[in-house]
Homo-oligomer: A and B are copies of this chain.
Amino acid sequence: MFDFKITGWNGEGEARTGVIYTAHGSIETPVFMPVGTQATVKALTPEDLYAMGVNLILANAYHLYLRPGVDLVEKAEGLHRFMNWRRGILTDSGGFQVFSLSKLRKINDEGVLFNSHIDGSSHFLTPEKSVAVQERLGADIIMCFDECSPYPCARPEVLAALERTTKWAQRCKQAQRSPYQALFGIVQGGIYEDLREKSAREITELDFPGYAIGGLSVGEPKEEMYNILCFTANLLPEDKPRYLMGVGTPEDLLEGVYNGIDMFDCVLPTRLARHGSVYTHKGRITVRNAVFADDFSPLDERCDCYVCRNYSRAYIRHLFKAEELLVHRLLSIHNVYFLVKLMENIRTAIKNKEFAQYYHDFMLEYKP
């Protein structure tokens, strides 16, 4: 049901191409996963995403557990059927969301007691329950329930969180019942190299089919993040997919791939879209600004997405000012495509052993 094969190496840095095989098709890596938190990638249909070549999306166990509830998704014969998505799905465990979105009431080794961010209702989530929820949702790849430390965070707390994350990972593995999901382990440890090393050792000893780096891009300086990313990626087995969670600016994707990361997800492309901002090859622009009022060029001259082929900045700004719903879809299509196409170009560059050059050339023009 799940396999990963490396298909090419750049020869410079750790960049590599690969293929992930799932029951819902194969996925070329490195891959960017658009985020479909609540069983929909915001403002987009599956067909919009298929047309861009998206084969894997991320959904969220925490959100779906709270609404519409696992019973309902199960009645619908699983998340794929429910949301009309025929390709791969990875679900996050809910760990990150419990800590970042809900009102935490109690955390101990058993699990987490929290209040729903929607209606305040009380819930107790454990590693076992998270795995059961994810199995019942029916994702192709599921994640261990972990404790993600914030930034900044004192070393003793980070240590406690990573030790708990290891215990929970053992319990997640024990709790797995279905052979249809690949369960990935998550490495924590904040910005402390020795803690990352400890976490990586403990988690990889449990032998998962894939490994994620959690707890990055949570507020730490970029340089710090890149150091820990590089350090931690090197600790993960070469023959398993490596997933950098919640990371997804163009520059971070390039740096991640350089360090041997295979999978990424990020809400930014759809979130930026809702605020009228888009990626271009020269950096981000905010198309709702007055300067674009009579700019009849496409969002990005170098982009060949549906939106750039058919609409002007002036029209899109008009839609934004007029509060027209269509604008969210158009900007989401462009932003998601921008990252999906970037990953496609990255894969081609790696195959041609030109990735370092590609990275350099891209960043010459792109202003983060």
Interface residues of A (CB under 8 A from B): 38-40, 42-45, 67-68, 72, 75-76, 82-84, 293-294, 296, 310-312, 314-315, 318-319, 321-322, 324-326, 328-330
Chain B positions within 8 Å of A67 at CB level: 318, 321-322
- Given known A-B contacts A321-B67, A322-B67, A328-B325, A294 and B72 have beta carbons under 8 A apart: yes
How many of these chains are in the complex?
2
The 6 tightest CB contacts between A and B, nearest first, are A43-B325, A68-B318, A38-B322, A84-B310, A40-B326, A40-B324
A321 to B69, CA, bound (A): 12
Chain B residues near A72 (CB-CB < 8 A): 293-294, 314, 318
| Most B CB within 10 A of own CB, among A67, A83, A330 | A83
The interface residues of chain A, by DSSP majority, are classed as loop
Residues of B within 8 A of A324 (CB): 38, 40, 42
Q: Which residues of B contact A321 (CB under 8 A)?
A: 67-68
Q: Which residues of chain B come closer than 8 Å to A83, judged between CB atoms?
A: 315
Task: Give 17 pairs: A residue, B residue, CB < 8 Å, sorted on A.
Answer: A40-B326, A42-B325, A42-B326, A43-B325, A44-B326, A45-B329, A67-B318, A68-B314, A72-B293, A72-B314, A75-B294, A76-B296, A76-B315, A82-B312, A83-B315, A84-B315, A325-B325
Q: A318 — which chain B residues lie within 8 A by C-beta?
A: 38-39, 67-68, 72
Per the bound structure, the CA–CA distance linking A44 and B82 in Å amounts to 22
Chain B residue nearest to A39 (CB atoms) is B318
User: Are A319 and B76 also in contact (CB < 8 A) when A326-B45, A329-B329 are?
Assistant: no
Hey, which chain B residues are within 8 Å of A45, CB to CB?
326, 329-330
